[in-house]
């Protein structure tokens, strides 16, 4: 197995870099292309039709770079657009499936209590709730939209007093009520420390970024698409649709130790 084609990853902005980082850790030899649709961020406040259109444009761009698969590293796009994206010739996976699988493995009991936090659109879609109920109808699911977490992460304020105050406001109701908490936005793993302190260390945090990286590896192995682990270290190309300087500043904070090759500003369509 030595498929040198890149794996494509996209998000509405830069939160999907947490997924990219986990893929790099797990598959350091893979070539990767990241597209951050920074001109249209956030997707979380857009309509379903708009989210689907943006997602299809993102895949079209990545497909033009001959990617062997696409990772939708955006919970909102995964929640609303994935069924339509699966019709694409290029294999596509989202981030909802991995988070749900991890939560269900954590709690074997029928009455598992699961918390889910994400953008307004992700929470309103009920994507996580519906997937959990399909497998574990008796489980309890508590959800909460936490929109202020995204700008706090992008400012690098992961351990500021204001972040702790916001976390307390959003998450206090989860204490003692859930066994695990799905971080249903790819920005949120950057706030694991403050989230864990707020909900209590007895609550297991489900990092969808790590789970998605595991799914990527399993898919590549299963279909004989993985790049040889004996080959050179993979190259990471980085595209955005707006604000390249700001995007690089944020990406360097989020990807400490991982080198991105800034590849340009792109227009992916309306």
What are the extents of the domains in the chain?
7-94+210-265, 96-208
Residue 77: exposure state from Cβ atoms within 10 A (0-12, 13-18, ≥19):
buried
Distance of CA 265 to the CA centre of its chain: 22
Q: Which residues contact 2 (CB under 8 A, 6 or more apart)?
A: 227, 228, 231
Active site residue 185: yes
Q: Which residues contact 80 (CB under 8 A, 6 or more apart)?
A: 48, 51, 52, 55, 121, 125, 127
Whether the domain at 7-94+210-265 and the domain at 96-208 fall into the same CATH topology: yes
> Domain 96-208, CATH 3.40.50.1860 — does that match?
yes
The class of domain 7-94+210-265 in CATH terms is: alpha beta
Tens place of pLDDT per residue across the chain (270 aa): 689 999 999 999 999 999 999 999 999 999 999 999 999 988 888 899 999 999 999 999 999 999 999 999 999 999 999 999 988 789 999 999 999 998 988 765 667 899 999 999 899 999 999 999 998 888 999 999 999 999 999 888 999 999 999 999 999 999 999 999 999 999 999 999 999 999 999 999 999 889 999 999 999 999 999 997 777 889 999 999 999 999 998 898 888 778 888 999 999 988
CA angle 261, 65, 187 (to 5 degrees): 55
Distance of CA 221 to the CA centre of its chain: 21
**pTM here?**
0.92
Exposure on the CB side of residue 50, measured as CA atoms within 13 A: 11
Q: Give the active site residue among 74, 139, 146, 180.
A: 74
């Amino acid at each position: 197995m030595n498929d040198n084609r890149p794996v494509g990853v996209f998000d509405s902005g830069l939160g999907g870099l947490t997924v990219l980082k986990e893929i790099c850790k797990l598959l350091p030899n893979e070539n990767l292309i990241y597209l951050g649709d920074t001109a249209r961020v956030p997707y979380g406040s857009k309509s379903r039709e708009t989210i689907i259109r943006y997602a299809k444009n993102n895949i079209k761009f990545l497909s033009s770079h001959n990617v062997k698969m696409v990772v939708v590293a955006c919970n909102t796009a995964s929640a609303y657009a994935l069924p339509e994206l699966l019709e694409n010739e290029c294999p596509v996976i989202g981030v909802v499936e991995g988070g749900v699988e991890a939560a269900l493995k954590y709690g074997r009991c029928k009455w598992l209590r699961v918390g889910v936090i994400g953008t307004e659109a992700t929470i309103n879609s009920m994507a996580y709730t519906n997937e959990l109920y399909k497998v574990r109808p008796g489980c309890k699911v508590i959800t909460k939209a936490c929109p202020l977490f995204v700008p706090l992460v992008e400012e690098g304020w992961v351990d500021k007093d204001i972040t702790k105050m916001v976390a307390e406001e959003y998450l206090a109701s989860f204490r003692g009520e859930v066994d695990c908490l799905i971080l249903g936005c790819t920005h949120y793993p950057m706030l694991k420390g403050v989230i864990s302190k707020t909900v209590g260390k007895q609550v297991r945090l489900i990092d969808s970024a790590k789970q998605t990286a595991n799914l990527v590896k399993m898919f590549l192995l299963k279909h004989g698409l993985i790049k040889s682990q004996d080959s050179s270290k993979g190259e990471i190309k980085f595209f955005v649709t707006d604000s390249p300087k700001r995007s690089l500043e944020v990406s360097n904070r989020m990807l400490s130790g991982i080198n991105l090759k800034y590849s340009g500003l792109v227009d992916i369509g309306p």
